[in-house]
Structure 1
Amino acid sequence: MKEATSDMINTRKLTGLSAVLLCGALQAGCSEDADRGGRQAAEGPLFAVPTQVYGADFATSTSYVAFVPSLDVERIQLDDARELNERGTVAKLGDYFFMASSSKPVVDRFELQADGSLAPAGSLNFSNYGLPEYFTLDAWGGVLVDAERAYVFNAADGSHVAWNPTTLEITGTIEGPGVVKEGYNLESIAVVRGDRMYRVFTLLNYETWEFLPSPQYLAVYDLKTDELIDLVEDSRCPQLYSRPFVDEQGDIYFSGWVWTPGLTLTGDYPASCSLRIKAGEDTFDPDWQLDFAADITEGREAAVMRPLGDGKVLLDVFHDERVTIDEATDPQELSNTPNWRLWMVDLKTKQGAPIDSLGFKAGGYSDVQVDGRNFLMVPNEDYSETTAYELADGEARAGFAIQGSVDQILKLR
C-alpha cells in the first residue's frame, strides 16, 4: 500500500444512520456460531467494532460496524455489520452511542435498547461551520472530553467547534492558531489532560509527500473557557503525528507515525524522536528528548510510541538491515514492507527489545484498551485485513481477524 493521498493519511480516522437493529427490533435475541463473531444475544456483553475497507486504489472506502457479544472469536464477520459511507467512527459518552461519517458533518446519537437494538436519539449537524476534510469522532478529528464536552476539529484552518453530547447543542467555536502554510495541509492530533487540550500541528505537502520537518506547533487550549492560550514552536522532532498519551504520572508523550522513517533513510531528513510535557506544565520539556535510533534501537528508525504502563512503552521499529536502500527507493513504500517489529521499551533505562511472540509486519498499528484488556490491532501490508493481538505479561497472543483496518473497539454493555 502506498499512502500517498489525503485519504490514506487518515487510515486511523460513520454516516447518518437510521436505527441500527442488531438482531431485529422485534426479536428477543439471536445467535450464530461463536467462532465467527456473528449475531449476538439480546443480553450479555456487546461490543462495537468499526472497520474501514479500502478500494483497490485507496481513493474510496466503505466502513462497517460489527456488533458482537465476544471478542474471543477466530474471525469477526461483516455479514450482519452496518455498512457506512467512507470513514466511519464511533463513540460512547455517558448513556449514548454516537456515529459519524467522514462524508458529511453530522453526528448521530443512539440509545442501546434492552433487546440489543439501537434507537435513534437525535443528531447534530455541523454544516454551517464548514466541512472538515475528515469529519470523525476518533482522535484524528474529534476530541471527546466527557458527556457534556466534545469538539470537532477542522484541519482546513485548525479551528474547533465545541458541542454538548448530552443536549446535542453547539456551544461555541475556537479559532485556529494561524499556522496554515500555502502548499501544505495541517495534520494534527490532540490529547486532553484535566481542563487542558494539547494539539500538535504538523505540515504535509500531499503532492510531494513532504512532511515539513520544522517547526512543530504545540497549541494549548483552556477547556473551561474554550480558548487558545498558548502556541509553542519546537524543531527537535520532525513529525509528531501519532496519538499522544498521558502516563500514570501525568506526563504527556508525543511521537510520529511510520511515514517519516523512510524519509530519514532515503534522504537528508531528521531522525524520529519523542518529546514530552511534564505534569503541571504546558510546554514541551526542554530537558527531555528520546532519539529512537540513537538511544534505544541500535541505529534503527522507529515510530508510534504507545503506553504499556509502569514506565514501559511500545515502539514500532523499522529493521533496515532486511532491505536494500538506494537512490531509487520510495520512502513511503518502506512503511508498507514487512520489515517492522514491535519493541517493548523501558523509558527509565532506555532499554528495549522486540516482542518475541510477534514477528515482522508492515508499518503501523493501533492499541485498543477495552473491557480491561489491551489489544494491538496490526494490519497487513495493504490494510485489507487486521489481526488483533492481546498483549499480556509481555506476550502477544493472536486473537480475532477482521477485514479492513481497525483502530476502535467500544464496549456498549
Structure 2
Amino acid sequence: MSKWVNWILGGLALAGLGCSSDTNDNELGTGPYAMAIIVFSPGAPQGTTYLTSVASPDVPTIDTKQGREFGGQANIAAYNGYLYVSRGDRPEIERYILDANQRLQLDTSVPALSFANFGVQAVSVDVTVNTFISPTKAYIIGTDGTQVAWNPSTMQLGAVISTPNLKREGFLDVKASSGIARGNRLYRFFYWSNLLVQPYNFSDEQLFAVYDTDTDKLLSITSETRCPALGGLAFTDGGGTAYFSNWFYNVPGTLQNGKPPSCMLRLPPNSDTLDPNWAPKFRDLTGGHEGAQLSYAGGRTAIFAALHEEAFPDIKTPSAFQLVSGANWESWSYNLDTGEAKPIAGIGRLGAQQTTFRLDGRTFLLTPNKEFTQSKGYEIKADGTVAPAFSIAGFSRAFVKVK
C-alpha cells in the first residue's frame, strides 16, 4: 500500500491518477449518509474510490456495488445540504445533491471547481484540508501554507492568502493542522517534516496562525514549542473550546531519537490565544505510552490512540513505518474536564489509523487492517460501552450525513 503523503493542495492522503467512471449518477442508493471507500489492488496501487450512500449507519456492511467510481483517492465533505467530492483523478471538486427519492446526483446547476491553475494533480475537500466558513466561503490549505478561498454556493475560487516565512532549513515539507472556524476567525498550526529519514523528523517548533475570515487576512502567527507535530484532526467541543493534537508519524522520533513527547493544546472560547497552562502529555495519561489523534466523542469525552511500544523487543530496530503501522495501538477515552483517561474496553489492539465519525450525536470509530483491505467499525456510546458497527472492504476517511 502506498504511504500517505501531501500534494500541494492535498490532504492526509495520496491522491493518485487513474480512470474514473462518470456513469451511475442515479445509482448511489438511498441517502442521506455518504461514504468514500478507498480500495487498493494490484491494478490500482494508489487506490480507487467508490462513493456510496446508505439510509442509515446501522447496517452490517457498506459495500461498493452501487458506488460511483473515481480513479485515485477521492474525498468527500457535507455542508449546508450538499455533498462535495474532490476527485482523485483530476484537481476538481464536484457538488452533489439529493433528489426527490433521496438519491445522490451530480449537481449540474453549477460547474466543477477546478484548481488546475495551481499546477496540482489533485485537490482534497476533506476536513483535514478544507474548512467551511459559511455557505459562501471555505478555505483549502496547500502544503506551502497558502490558503485558497472558494465559494461552496457558486463553486468559484476566491482570495488567495499566503503565509510568509514558512521555509525551514533541513525540512522538506511544511505541514498544517486542520482548520478551526469560530466566529470570524480561522485557526491552524504549521510545522515542518522530513519523511525521507529514519526515524521521521519533525520540527520542535510549531506556528499558531490566526486569520480574519471577513477580510481574508493573516492576523497573527505565534511560535509554540510545547507539543510536536500538531497535525491531527482539530475539533471544537460543545462549549466552544478548540483542541489540537498530533498525528502519529512523529511518535517514532520520540521513542527512537529522544524527540519531545506528544501532547495536546487547547484554545479557550472567545480567545485568539492558546491556554498557557494546559498541555497534557499522552504518556502521563497512559502510564508511559505515547499517544496521538485526539478526537471528539461528544459531551465531555474525547478519544485517542495509545501505542504499546512494549510489543517491540528493541524499540530502535523497526523502521518508523513499521513502528506506527502495526496493530499495537489501543483506543483510550479522555475526559476533557477531569483529565481522566482509560482504555476503551471491547475494541482490542488496532492499527494507528483510527478514524472517528460523528453522525447525529453518535460516535463511530473505523480502523483498517494492516493492508487497508478491510476496515471494522465500532460505535462508542455515551456510557462508554462499545458495540460493533458497519464493516467495509477497503478504507475510508469520510462518512458524512448529507442533509
2:142 is aligned, of 154, 161, 169, to: 154
Letter in 1 for 2:147: H
Deviation, structure 1 residue 301: 0.6
Residue 317 of structure 1 and its aligned partner are, at CA, apart by: 0.6
Aligned-residue Cα RMSD (Å) equals 2.7
C-alpha displacement at 1:345, in angstroms? 1.7
Pair 222,305 (structure 1): closer, same or farther in 2 beyond 3 Å: same
Per the alignment, residue 118 of structure 1 pairs with 105
Residues 269 and 56 of structure 1: is their aligned pair in 2 closer, same or farther, counting only changes over 3 Å? farther
- Secondary structure of the equivalent of 1:279? coil
Q: Does 1:403 align with 2:389?
A: no
- Equivalent position to 1:318, from 292, 307, 314: 307
Q: Does 1:172 align with 2:174?
A: no
Q: How does 1:71-220 map to 2 (within 5 A)?
A: 71-115=57-101, 116-119=103-106, 120-127=108-115, 129-132=117-120, 135-155=123-143, 157-181=144-168, 183-188=171-176, 189-208=178-197, 210-220=200-210
Equivalent position amino acid for 1:213 in 2: S
Call closer, same or farther: CA 1:217–1:3 in 2, change over 3 Å: same
Please give the residue correspondences for 1:350-361 in structure 2 after superposition, counting only pairs within 5 Å: 350-361=339-350
- Residue 12 (structure 2) aligned to one of 10, 26, 30: 10
**Partner SS state of residue 376, structure 1:** strand
Deviation at 1:12, TM superposition (A): 9.2
Given that residues 212 and 238 in structure 1 are in contact (C-alpha distance below 8 angstroms), is that contact kept between their aligned partners in structure 2?
A: yes
The Cα shift of 1:323 comes to 2.6
Cα deviation 1:135-181 (Å, max 9, x = unaligned)? 111122212223211122221x2111211111222222211233133
Mapped contact 1:202–1:216 kept (Cα < 8 A): yes
Change (3 A) 1:146 1:226: same
Tell me which residue corresponds to 1:31.
none
Aligned to 1:33: none
Q: Distance in 2 between matches of 1:117 and 1:344?
A: 35
Secondary structure at the aligned position of 2:264 is classed as strand
2:96–2:105 contact (8 Å) kept in structure 1: yes
| Aligned AA (2:311) | R
Aligned residues: 393
SS of the residue 1:334 aligns to = helix
Task: Name which of structure 1's ranges 346-355 and 78-87 shifts more when overlaid on structure 2.
Answer: 346-355
Q: How does 1:238-249 map to 2 (within 5 A)?
A: 238-249=228-239
1:78 Cα shift? 1.0
- Matches of 1:307 and 1:106, distance apart in 2: 30
Aligned pairs (5 A) from 1:50-65 = 50-55=36-41, 60-65=46-51
Q: Does the 8 Å CA contact 2:81/2:402 hold for their aligned counterparts?
A: no
Judged with a 3 Å threshold, the aligned counterparts in structure 2 of structure 1 residues 206 and 143 are, in CA distance, closer, same or farther, namely same
Q: Is 1:390–2:375 an aligned residue pair?
A: no
Of 89-98 and 56-65, more deviation after overlay is shown by 56-65
Compared CA separation, residues 412 and 286, structure 1 to 2 (3 A)? closer
1:91, 1:97 within 8 Å by CA — same for their partners in 2?
yes
Aligned partner letter, 2:324: S
The answer for the alignment partner of 1:379 in structure 2 is: 368
The two structures have a TM-score, normalised by structure 1, of 0.87
Contact 2:255/2:315 (<8 A) preserved: no
Unpaired segments ≥5 residues, structure 1: 24-38
Stretch deviating more after TM superposition (8-17 or 303-312): 8-17
SS of the aligned residue for 1:383 comes to coil
- Assess if the C-alpha contact under 8 Å between 1:98 and 1:110 holds in 2: yes
Q: Structure 1's 412 and 327: CA in aligned 2 closer, same or farther, altered over 3 A?
A: closer
Deviations 1:170-210 (A, max 9, x none): 22221123313354112212221121111111211132263
For the 8 Å contact 2:212–2:218, the answer to whether it is kept is yes
State how far apart, in whole Å, the 2-side matches of 1:110 and 1:351 are. 42
| Alignment partners' CA distance in 1, 2:257 and 2:54 | 46
Shift in Å, 1:55: 4.4
Question: How much has 1:10 moved relative to structure 2?
Answer: 2.0
| Cα distance, 1:134 vs structure 2 | 5.2
Distance in structure 2 (CA, Å) of the matches to 1:260 and 1:267: 10
Residues 9 and 3 of structure 1, relative CA distance in 2, 3 Å threshold = farther
CA-CA distance at 1:16 after TM superposition: 8.7
Partner of 1:233: 223
Deviation readout 1:66-108 (Å, 9 max, x if unpaired): 1222322221121221111212112233343221124422221
- Decide whether aligned partners of structure 1 residues 113 and 349 sit closer, same or farther in structure 2, where only a CA change above 3 A counts: closer
Q: TM-score, normalised by structure 2?
A: 0.89
Post-superposition offset of 1:117: 4.6
Is it true that 1:301 corresponds to 2:301 in the alignment? Answer: no
- Give aligned-pair identity as a percent: 26
Cα gap change, 1:132/1:204 in structure 2, threshold over 3 Å: closer, same or farther? farther
Question: Hey, what does 2:26 align to over in structure 1?
Answer: 22
C-alpha distance in structure 1 between counterparts of 2:197 and 2:70, whole Å: 31
